[in-house]
Amino acid sequence: MTQVAVFIGSGSDEDTVRPCVDILEKLGISYLFTVTSAHRTPQRTETLVEQMEKEGCQVYICAAGMAAHLAGAVAARTIKPVVGIPVTASALGGMDALLATVMMPPGFPVATVALDKAGARNAAWFAAQILALHDPALAKRLQEERSAFVDDVKKAAKKVEGR
């Protein structure tokens, strides 16, 4: 079963979203990572969502720039959680993608994270938190990762303080 579907609107988004799938792999979460476009390949997008629904996908992560309609197109076809990653792809510095991802009509929400790689990482963490609601082993792995973040800050503090 594919737990998370990660869709990018263009092949040029792969490097930006790669941190997302790296975290999913680290946490042992099964995923599909592919390219589909809400505008250029709407039938492919629809077919992928139908396929993922049949396979039991639980969370969708969609990254796109400019008009950034991919997350909305997916949200229109599922009642599962959709997380949108706005990608900087125009002279507007990602503001167009951010607004397009955030501004969804009532009843078709898209949880929106930060732009680019920071957003990609948080999209993976958020998807993992959703899945952990019904997966105690995953919840334990998430707690361990959080503890490691705390330890990293403590180590950095000691280094800065000269100890």
Q: What is the pTM of this model?
A: 0.95
What is the rounded CA–CA span in Å between residue 54 and residue 137? 24
Cβ-proximal residues to 155 (8 Å cutoff; 6+ apart), any chain: none
Q: How confident is the model at residue 50, as a pLDDT? A: 98
Per-residue pLDDT of the chain (163 residues), as tens digits, is: 899 999 999 999 999 999 999 999 999 999 999 999 999 999 999 999 999 999 999 999 999 999 899 999 999 999 999 999 999 999 999 999 999 999 999 999 999 999 999 999 999 999 999 999 999 999 999 999 999 999 999 999 999 998 6
Q: Sign (positive/negative) of CA torsion 147, 148, 154, 157? A: negative
Q: How confident is the model at residue 162, as a pLDDT? A: 87
Q: How confident is the model at residue 52, as a pLDDT? A: 98
Q: Which amino acid is at 142?
A: L
